[in-house]
């Protein structure tokens, strides 16, 4: 065992009171699920299903969405296999509760302390573990591997920042990544970084986010919302993060000069920020209606704050132009394929390092544009709102890029099939 892993385990043991205090704080702030809080302590809220069990871990909403097509395809091929998916956020749990197929259940991932992890593994006894992207919890990984659990990194990625951090502790990185029997990387640059950090058996399979189908929508609610718009020009700022809402308001004022009656829809990545965002924007002079409070859109409304969960598909379809947040602030961006599939023209800021390959491909295909600041955002939204032919061309180009990569799901399944077939034949949860 590496010295850093030993130190990490000792630290998580000694820090039990601090961790408990931190969790209580998150509970008070609504960042933990009060009704299912004990799951975070490794205590299950439901029995383990009989037969073979695949455990998938997805950190939050984006990772969970990318795993849903994989779950559906796996269940179609092997209906006898049950699936457990874990995540760490209330928002992802709500999304999964609506979309998981039969034979699949969700639990909150245990906090990375050895007693919690041990209790979790003792109860669920998975036969195969699939980890999404890049959330590497040392105790959860190493204790799982120590039990001989086959493990696969799915849709693996390593950002430049994470790569630099892991390079400082090469032995620790090798120990953690050595837990995976197979690493399926999103892109070749991710594969190269994984190999450099000590991962073995690395394959570039493609980005599963391309396999995510169009986000669902309630047709009746879409009709109702479109009726509320009353023909007003409308655009969407999706998955915004702190610091971006003020920029959206600045852009709104400029766009409204060319498009009177403009309605700007803001969907914050974390809906619990809704009240604070509304207060902030109202102090700047915006007239805001909050969806979570049931406030209607009036002719005076400037900003519709859609602080709800699981309705992004509605707003991507209602808005002909969508800006993807987390990109005007230096946080790496959100998945730009999500608005492309429902047919919205795509814009994003300069900080898209979470999605470098798809960003470049969309721009090269004239399927999306990068904006540099609120003024540039306002100019591009104004141009798109005023040119339906340009919007349609951009949306069609973006959909073509997404469809060109739709085979990624089949490639991932082909790589996983030997392991899945093995547990389908022999897995019994023992």
The answer to whether the CB of 84 falls within 8 A of the CB of 105 is yes
104 DSSP β-pair partners: 83
Q: Closest Cα to residue 428, out of 186, 154, 127?
A: 127
- Give the C-alpha distances (Å, rounded to integers) separating 271 from 7, 26, 121, 239, 338: 36, 15, 32, 9, 18
DSSP string, 168-199: T-HHHHHHHHTT-SEEEESSHHHHHHHHHTT-
Helix (H) or strand (E) holding 415: helix 408-426
Helix (H) or strand (E) holding 64: helix 61-77
User: Exposed, middle or buried: residue 220 (CB in 10 Å: 0-12, 13-18, 19+)?
Assistant: exposed
Q: Compute CA distances 31 → 26, 93, 142, 145, 412, whole Å.
A: 5, 11, 27, 29, 32
For the purposes of burial, counting CB atoms within 10 Å of the CB of 186, is it exposed (0-12), middle (13-18) or buried (19 or more)? Answer: buried
- Here the tokens at position 409 are 């799901």
Residues 236 and 322 sit within 8 Å (Cβ to Cβ):
yes
Q: Of 227, 238, 380, 245, which Cα lies nearest the Cα of 315? A: 238
Provide the annotated active-site residues.
63
Angle at 54 between CA 50 and CA 60, to 5 degrees: 125
Quick check: 309 and 323 in contact, CB under 8 A?
no
In whole angstroms, what separates CA 374 from the centre of its chain?
25
Whether residue 13 contacts residue 118, with contact meaning beta carbons closer than 8 Å, is answered with no
């Amino acid at each position: 065992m590496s010295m850093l892993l030993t130190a990490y385990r000792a630290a998580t043991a000694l820090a039990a009171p601090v961790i408990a205090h931190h969790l209580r704080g998150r509970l008070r702030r609504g960042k933990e699920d009060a009704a299912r809080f004990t799951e975070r302590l490794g205590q299950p809220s439901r029995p383990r299903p009989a037969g073979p069990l695949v455990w998938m871990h997805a950190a939050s909403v984006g990772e969970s969405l990318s795993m849903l097509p994989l779950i559906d395809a796996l269940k179609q091929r092997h209906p006898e296999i049950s699936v457990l998916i874990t995540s760490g956020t209330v928002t992802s749990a709500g999304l999964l509760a609506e979309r998981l197929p039969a034979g699949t259940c969700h639990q909150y991932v245990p906090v990375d302390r050895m007693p919690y992890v041990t209790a979790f593994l003792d109860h669920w006894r998975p036969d195969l573990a699939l980890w999404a992207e890049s959330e590497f919890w040392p105790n959860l990984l190493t204790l799982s591997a120590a039990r001989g659990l086959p493990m696969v990194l799915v849709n693996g990625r390593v950002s430049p920042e994470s790569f630099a951090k892991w390079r400082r502790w090469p032995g620790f990185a090798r120990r953690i990544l050595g837990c995976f029997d197979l690493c399926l990387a999103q892109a070749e640059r991710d594969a190269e970084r994984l190999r450099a950090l000590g991962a073995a058996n690395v394959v570039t399979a493609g980005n599963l986010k391309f396999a995510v189908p169009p986000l669902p929508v309630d047709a009746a609610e879409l009709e109702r919302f479109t009726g509320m718009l009353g023909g007003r020009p409308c655009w969407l700022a999706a998955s915004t993060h702190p610091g971006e809402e003020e920029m959206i308001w600045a852009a709104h004022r400029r766009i409204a000069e060319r498009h009177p009656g403009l309605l700007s829809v803001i969907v914050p990545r974390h809906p619990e920020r809704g009240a604070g965002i509304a207060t902030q924007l109202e102090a700047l002079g915006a007239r805001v209606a909050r969806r979570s409070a049931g406030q209607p859109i009036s002719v005076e409304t400037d900003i519709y704050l859609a602080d709800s969960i699981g309705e992004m598909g509605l707003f991507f379809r209602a808005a002909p132009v969508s800006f993807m947040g987390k990109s005007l602030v230096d946080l790496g961006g959100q998945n730009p394929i999500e608005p492309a599939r429902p047919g919205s023209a795509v814009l994003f800021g300069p900080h898209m390092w979470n999605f470098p390959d798809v960003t470049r491909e969309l721009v090269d295909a004239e399927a999306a544009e990068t904006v540099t600041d609120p003024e540039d955002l306002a100019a591009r939204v104004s141009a798109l709102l005023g040119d339906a032919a340009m919007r349609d061309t951009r949306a069609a180009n973006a959909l073509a890029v997404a469809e060109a990569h739709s085979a990624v799901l089949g490639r991932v399944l082909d790589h996983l099939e030997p392991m899945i077939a093995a547990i389908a034949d022999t897995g019994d949860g023992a």
